[in-house]
Structure 1
Amino acid sequence: MKAPREIQNIAIIGAGESGTGAALLARHLGMTVYLSDAGRISDKYKEKLLQNGIACQEGTHQLEKILETDVVIKSPGVPDKSPVVQKALESGVSVISEIEFASWYTTKPIVAITGTNGKTTTTALTGHIFTTAGIRTGIGGNIGRSFAELVMHDEQYETYVLEVSSFQLDGCYTFAPDIAILTNITPDHLDRYDYKFENYIASKFRIAQSQKPDQVFVYCADDEATVTNLPKFAIQSRKIAFSALKEPEEGAYLLNENEFIVKINTMDTMIIKDFKLKGTHNAYNSMAAAIAARIHEIRQEKIKEAFSDFRGVEHRLESVATIGGIEFINDSKATNVNSVIYALSSIKRPIVWIAGGVDKGNDYSALHDLVKTYVKAIVCLGKDNSKLLDEFTGMVDVIADTHNMEQAVKTAYSLASKGDAVLLSPACASFDLFENYEDRGNQFKFWVRQL
């Protein structure tokens, strides 16, 4: 869609992937750009900004410059309660997300994927299917390149496949993807939502809030929070479900752990067998991606070809190495309790579990039975592990307190035996000790390879 009004001056708060991408697109469109970050701007982004003639300020925000602009773009990591954001809102300046901004400057079809868990795998798989089918696809958003930087090269793409987080959706008002996928909703990031699950749920449903009747909303019919709250939101788009428990009127359903069916009205029914990603949670991701592909009228043989060679995403149940009969598994992207449930349930052997980081208001009680059944030892990894130690002490034979990755890996190795798995599945954000979950996962892999 087009921008709701002409924009000449723009301010951007936060200079990470999202903010830098927004600045590049704005400059490309001929706008005057002011970009600032309360912290230090990484060399990677600073170099890219300066190469494109964009001045950036770090360590502070000049409020007067922000308030004299037409629109403020807030990076996902900047909370709505940030003083500079509140000042802009109080002054009547529009504050939006980079996703919203970029969507104004492309008319290409968009598949947008959100959800507490599975959104990265579903995005990567959907993008892989589209690319296998020969469609020039821009894959990004909350993974890889920002949507704004992709749109800067809009002529290169025929469609976009985007992972979109709740923080990005909070700044969306007109964003209307042609296909919106909601994988599931479980409590996460509650520290950003006043510790109210209903606020987080509302954020996730924003992915479909502006959709029109000729667009599609894809959701999990087995997810309680999604199904219970769906009637509360005035979603105008066509609704298509996927399920492992029942056959929807239109959508996808799991026949067994190795086979599912996709049936879209007006199209032939398609059967997918022996898909590479294992586990019920990955079956859900696979069904959602297949629905998007079929709606996009990608041929069955291309969809099946893409499923046959897709290998998953880095930092999500990624097998790193087997040393002394002990398998080390990198699940650094598991930043909430529900992700850890998937991980512990999928490993059919004794587990030494590495967990911890920045707690986001987690309720660990849902993990108790799994920990008692599968976990032989826990290695806590974080600046402050007191909550984990209080929660699980006495539930396993050994629980260790560590404060860097080298120590955590070596401790886990010493506690594991041949035939066990060492699983990094933190249930927490990474920002106490690491730049992000990728840095945490990469450090895990580095220290495993030093054993």
Structure 2
Amino acid sequence: MDSNLIAPVGVLGFGVEGQSTFDYLVHNGVKDIVVMDKNPVKLPEVPAGVNVKVCSGENYLDGLKDCVTVVRSAGVYPMSPALFKFQMNGGMMTSQIQLFLEQTKSRKVVGVTGTLGKGSTVSMISHILTKCGVNNEIGGNFGVPALDLLKDETADRVSILELSSFQLMTLPVSPDVAVVLRVSTEHLDWHQSVEEYRDAKANLVRWQKRTGTCVYLKDAEPTAKIASESPAKTKFAISLKDGPSAGDGDAVIDGATLAIDGERLYLEDCKVRGIYQLENMAAATLACKALGIKVADAFEALKSYETLPFRMEFKGEKRGIEFFNDSYATRPDATIAATASMKRPFALILGGSEKNADFTELSQILVNDRPNLKRIALIGATAERMLESLTQAGLKVPANIFPTLEEAFADSLAIGEGGTVIMSPACASFGLFKNYKVRGQVFDKLVADL
């Protein structure tokens, strides 16, 4: 049992992560637990001898007065006055990720953060390690909650964690290998500022040991700034041949080619589409290099890697039209990256729920830098605002608003033989769909039914 967890222990937030924390506490002999959640709480079966107090509804944080330690779930904002007061009065706050990093027996832990590409990079690292015969598990923001990884942990394992800014925000310990992907702005409906968001990300590297490794993107200024905070002696930089660093990095991306240590990987030899995936492949290879994997072996493994569902997923060709499902693109910069890979004339399906994102840069790039963009179909709450932004940027191609994805899809088929239809919405899906997965499944069915 972790000595830092002095009972009564509060579980703050009782979603998937909170339920995993509760299970961990019960299995580690904690007898007094306080569960706090704004939503109604449905407790699992509680063993005899374990006292559980539930605080839900508007005043759920009243439960803090009964706690000595609190395990915060990632979605709960840690800088609230109530939590500040709790800590000023001697209360201790920790998190799943902190508990995992303090107790893991894994021989190495890899942590991955960034605004884009976290899930893909984590799964690429796992794919390379598996192909090279290295025992590994994925957890954190992707896969299973981190504390679930402790259950059947072995000392030969590598644990790979996808970590969001929510999980990193108060973290006082960093993983052995830290990967910082492209960082822009995100979650400003939760974070107080861009600075706070990026500062949270920096906890991934801030507490690394000198013996650690930091992998980062040299040409993305916010990412390079975060990496500069790492005390790790080994730093692997990813550089773009035509970027500000002019290819001065440990991994160099030149067009559709990735070069590391004299080895080359050509995107055309891989199953994934999307030139932006080379950044993720570079990061995954360098992380595996830090774990002792040969670059040649990593590159060979990446050739057989298949993209995650709804991330620039190629759905085949019908009626002479190619289809790409990029439902996971819930931010403008994801759509910018996806459309950069389009070779044929293409129709783009855009729009979704409102997160107050700025569409100016996306609109300017679509209008000025995507000459093969031939038509746009807009859906969701953001459709009108996006159309206005595109019009201001000087859009010349047809762009119409549709009440449903089905109608937007039907309109996009006008691209005709030799063209491409891509759904890369640049927005979340709520309103029309429960989540990006459901939106992606609907698109898949529309393609299948053609």
TM range (shorter): 0.7 to 0.9
Please state if 1:208 is matched with 2:195.
no
Partner Cα separation in structure 2 for residue 76 and residue 358 of structure 1: 22
Query: For residue 29 of structure 1, what is the aligned residue in structure 2?
Result: 28
Q: 1:50-77: per-residue Cα shift (whole Å, max 9, x none)?
A: 2676977765664343332233333333
Query: For residue 313 of structure 2, what is the aligned residue in structure 1?
Result: 318
Partner Cα separation in structure 1 for residue 81 and residue 327 of structure 2: 31
Partner Cα separation in structure 1 for residue 172 and residue 434 of structure 2: 30
Q: 1:104 to 1:433 in 2, by over 3 A?
A: farther
Q: 1:419 to 1:106 in 2, by over 3 A?
A: same
Alignment of 1:247-262 (within 5 A): 247-248=247-248, 251-254=250-253, 257-262=256-261
| TM-score normalised by L of structure 2 | 0.85
Identity of aligned residues (%): 29
| Greater CA drift, 74-83 or 100-109 | 74-83
Q: 1:241 to 1:320 in 2, by over 3 A?
A: same
Query: Secondary structure of 2:335's match?
Result: helix
Q: CA deviation at 1:405?
A: 3.6
| Greater CA drift, 104-113 or 385-394 | 385-394
Partner Cα separation in structure 1 for residue 46 and residue 296 of structure 2: 43
Unaligned runs of 5+ in 1: 263-268
Query: Secondary structure of 1:395's match?
Result: coil
Query: For residue 289 of structure 2, what is the aligned residue in structure 1?
Result: 294
Query: Secondary structure of 2:439's match?
Result: helix
Q: CA deviation at 1:278?
A: 4.7
1:67 to 65, 68, 72: 65
Q: 1:34 to 1:448 in 2, by over 3 A?
A: farther
Unaligned runs of 5+ in 2: none
Partner Cα separation in structure 1 for residue 384 and residue 419 of structure 2: 26
Alignment RMSD, CA only?
3.1
Alignment of 1:134-283 (within 5 A): 134-155=133-154, 158-174=157-173, 176-194=174-192, 196-228=193-225, 230-231=227-228, 233=229, 235-245=231-241, 246-248=246-248, 251-254=250-253, 257-262=256-261, 270-272=263-265, 276=270, 277-283=272-278
Partner Cα separation in structure 2 for residue 295 and residue 198 of structure 1: 29
Q: CA deviation at 1:377?
A: 2.6
Q: CA deviation at 1:81?
A: 6.1
Q: What residue identity is the alignment partner of 1:238?
A: T
Q: 1:234 to 1:120 in 2, by over 3 A?
A: closer
Query: Secondary structure of 1:113's match?
Result: strand
Q: CA deviation at 1:165?
A: 1.0
Q: 1:352 to 1:12 in 2, by over 3 A?
A: farther
Q: What residue identity is the alignment partner of 2:279?
A: Y
Q: CA deviation at 1:154?
A: 2.0
Query: Secondary structure of 2:281's match?
Result: helix
Q: CA deviation at 1:273?
A: 5.0
Structure 2 contact 126–138 (Cα < 8 Å) conserved: yes
Please state if 1:50 is matched with 2:47.
no
Q: 1:139-172: per-residue Cα shift (whole Å, max 9, x none)?
A: 1221121212122332487110111111111131
Query: Secondary structure of 2:189's match?
Result: helix
Q: CA deviation at 1:406?
A: 3.6
Q: What residue identity is the alignment partner of 1:177?
A: P
Q: 1:168-206: per-residue Cα shift (whole Å, max 9, x none)?
A: 1113122x2110000111122233233x33222212211
Partner Cα separation in structure 2 for residue 422 and residue 184 of structure 1: 26
Query: Secondary structure of 1:227's match?
Result: helix
Query: For residue 401 of structure 2, what is the aligned residue in structure 1?
Result: 401
Q: 1:86 to 1:57 in 2, by over 3 A?
A: same
Query: Secondary structure of 1:139's match?
Result: strand
Partner Cα separation in structure 2 for residue 327 and residue 291 of structure 1: 33
Aligned residues: 433
Q: 1:436 to 1:169 in 2, by over 3 A?
A: farther
Q: What residue identity is the alignment partner of 1:425?
A: S
| TM-score normalised by L of structure 1 | 0.84
2:387 to 377, 386, 389: 389
Q: 1:52 to 1:400 in 2, by over 3 A?
A: farther
Please state if 1:436 is matched with 2:435.
yes
Structure 2 contact 20–147 (Cα < 8 Å) conserved: yes
